[in-house]
């Protein structure tokens, strides 16, 4: 199943998607298609809309046959991490059910600060 057809263009932010991602207030796709390398810009609120942060995600892989995708969060102001890579895999189960596995790897910003200090002592 092509999830893009079911839930629409990410920049359209269909009603179904709004329920799945309540922190995202709006989004826009840079480019004309959902392809590897495209950028999704999301406007996120962590405080009920008082402040809106602009995050950017780049699609690394999209495999409809194996129901797997991955993307890198290239900009996420106000978060304690950098280099977040998410992988989403959907596995069919009996009786029209499925398992959704969402994994992410990242580096904590304070770890980056520690490494920078090691490389550039004052």
Q: What is the CATH number of the domain that holds 40?
A: 3.30.530.20
- The pLDDT of residue 108: 85
Identify the CA nearest to 44 among candidates 72, 25, 17.
25
103 contact partners, CB below 8 Å, separation of at least 6: 86, 87
Residues 51 and 45 sit within 8 Å (Cβ to Cβ): yes
- The pLDDT of residue 22: 67
Q: What is the pTM of this model?
A: 0.68
Q: Along the 122 residues of the chain, how does pLDDT read in single tens digits?
A: 444 444 444 444 445 545 556 678 888 888 767 789 999 998 888 777 778 889 899 999 999 999 999 999 999 887 888 889 999 999 999 998 999 999 999 988 877 665 555 555 55
Range of 32's domain?
Answer: 3-119
Number of domains in the chain: 1
Burial 84-102 (b: 16+ CB within 10 A, else e): bebeeebeeeeeeeeeeee
Q: Where do we find the tokens 């480019």?
A: 31
């Amino acid at each position: 199943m092509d999830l893009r057809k079911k839930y629409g263009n990410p920049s359209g932010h269909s009603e179904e998607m709004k329920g799945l991602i309540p922190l995202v207030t709006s989004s826009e796709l840079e480019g004309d298609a959902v392809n590897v390398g495209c950028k999704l810009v999301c406007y996120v609120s962590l405080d009920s809309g008082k402040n809106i942060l602009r995050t950017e995600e780049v699609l690394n892989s999209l495999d409809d046959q194996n129901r797997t995708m991955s993307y890198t969060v290239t900009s996420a102001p106000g978060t304690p991490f950098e280099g977040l890579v998410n992988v989403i895999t959907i596995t069919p189960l009996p009786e029209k059910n499925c398992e959704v596995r969402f994994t992410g790897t990242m580096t904590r910003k304070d770890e980056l600060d520690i490494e920078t200090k090691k490389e550039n002592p004052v």
